[in-house]
Structure 1
Amino acid sequence: MILIIMGVSGSGKTTVGSFLSAKLGWTLYEGDDYHPKENIEKMASGVPLTDQDRTPWLLLLHDIIQREMAAGTNAIVICSALKRLYRQLLLFGRCALAGAGAGAGAEARDTLQGVLLAFLQGSLEQIQERVRARSGHFMPVALLQSQFDALEPPSPAENALTLDIRKGPLEMASEIERALSAHL
């Protein structure tokens, strides 16, 4: 099983993912660790990433997902995955880029069997508070609006669980665990 924890910066992806990884014993892949230096510098200077900036990063995470699936292991991948195209790149790699239509190359599939998306959802105001309160992260509060502007919440066909961040990390992790149990 692959769990992709998604949402805008500051939504709690790393906190929830780290808790679940420790509790379940699943390998955790923090997407931010795989950004190229240029992407991090760009974001740190307040410049939003473009689709072109994100594509190589998403394809690298796709390779990790494919490797874990081929090995038959359980893993957690933390990635903003803001747009449907980004989620398609994570799941289907370069095939998602084929053709002009949304989801082209995915052969009308929205998700892969054995993949669950957990979308951590909150308001701009809630997440601004969180980002202002944290330290040591390259993502400035000024870029949050660009993430909300790009955000395409997952559709029901994407096998996604939507979680309200007001519940807190432990309650969200428990909901994800219940959803995973139903899929295992």
Structure 2
Amino acid sequence: MGPPGVVLVMGVSGSGKSTVGSLLATELGWKFYDADDYHPEENRKKMGKGIPLNDQDRIPWLCNLHDILLRNVSSGQSVVLACSALKQMYRNILMRGEGAATQKNDEPGEKEGFPKLKLLVVYLNGSFELISGRLAKRKGHFMPPELLQSQFDTLEPPSAPENFVALSVDRSVSEMIPFIVDNIKMK
């Protein structure tokens, strides 16, 4: 299956990242991380009050996640990460670390001293109506359904040259997992 790497399962809140990510990690025998578990308390409080996070809130959190991913991959452990990663810049930070926060999206290659992780992005997408319906049924999560529109407003779906596959959340999880595994084998 190639060298160790990272599968990033991304999308807006309620798209199924944690469910798909944990099942995918189990199927592959890889380590699973849910990025929500690593939000600092200030971010959780802000979202809990219905205030959307901004880049200044997200960048330190994403840099911390990059460091976790890099440690795992450096030790030979492949990883599945469930993370909203709504902007291309956020995905670049997950791949390259802090240096990517100041790098323009159109700059090729990696910055000196910032190792690039091999990353396959699995983008879970769906309509606002479908996902808001899911969020309305979810209990006990710090991300209130009222913030969903801000996530759609921030969303920059992956595009070339990013290494990604897009899956509609209309598909069942039992259909998604084999499709993702097949794509990992082809990458």
Aligned-partner residue type, residue 155 of structure 2: L
Cα distance in 2, alignment partners of residues 114 and 55 from structure 1: 20
CA–CA distance in structure 2, aligned partners of residues 113 and 21 of structure 1: 18
State the Cα distance separating 1:71 from its structure 2 match.
1.3
Q: Which shifted more, 62-71 or 90-99?
A: 90-99
How far apart are the structure 2 equivalents of 1:69 and 1:22?
A: 17
| Residue 102 (str. 1) matches residue 105 (str. 2) | yes
**Deviation of the 1:98 alpha carbon:** 3.1
Kept in 2: contact 1:92–1:106 (CA 8 A): no
1:68 to 57, 64, 72: 72
Aligned residue runs from structure 1 range 5-20, under 5 A = 5-20=9-24
Contact 1:88 1:106 in 2 (8 A): no
Distance (Å, rounded) in 1 between the aligned partners of 2:59 and 2:34: 17
Cα distance in structure 2, aligned partners of 1:167 and 1:119 = 13
> Which amino acid letter does the alignment assign opposite residue 105 of structure 2?
A
Q: 2:62 aligns with which of 58, 61, 72?
A: 58
Q: Which residue pairs with 1:4 in the alignment?
A: 8
Displacement after TM superposition at 1:97 (Å): 2.5
Q: 1:177 aligns with which of 147, 160, 181?
A: 181
- For structure 1, the 5+ residue unaligned runs are none
Q: Which amino acid aligns with 2:121?
A: L
User: What residue ranges of structure 2 are gaps of 5+ in the alignment?
Assistant: none
Q: Distance in 2 between matches of 1:81 and 1:61?
A: 11
Q: What is the distance in 2 between the residues matched to 1:30 and 1:145?
A: 22
Q: Distance in 1 between matches of 2:38 and 2:106?
A: 24
Give 1:69 shift.
1.8
What is the distance in 1 between the residues matched to 2:152 and 2:109?
Answer: 25
TM-score by length of 2: 0.90
In structure 1, the residue matched to 2:164 is 160
Contact kept in structure 2, 1:58 and 1:86, CA below 8 Å: yes
8 Å contact 1:7–1:119 — kept in the other structure?
yes
Contact 2:95–2:117, Cα closer than 8 Å, also in 1 = no
| Corresponding residue to 2:26 among 14, 22, 27 | 22
- The answer for the alignment partner of 1:31 in structure 2 is 35
| Aligned pairs for 1:115-154 within 5 A | 115-154=119-158
Number of aligned positions between the proteins: 179
**C-alpha RMSD of the superposition:** 1.6
Give me the whole-angstrom Cα distance separating, in 2, the residues matched to 1:50 and 1:113: 24
Residue 103 of structure 1: how far off its partner (Å):
4.9
Higher helix share: 1
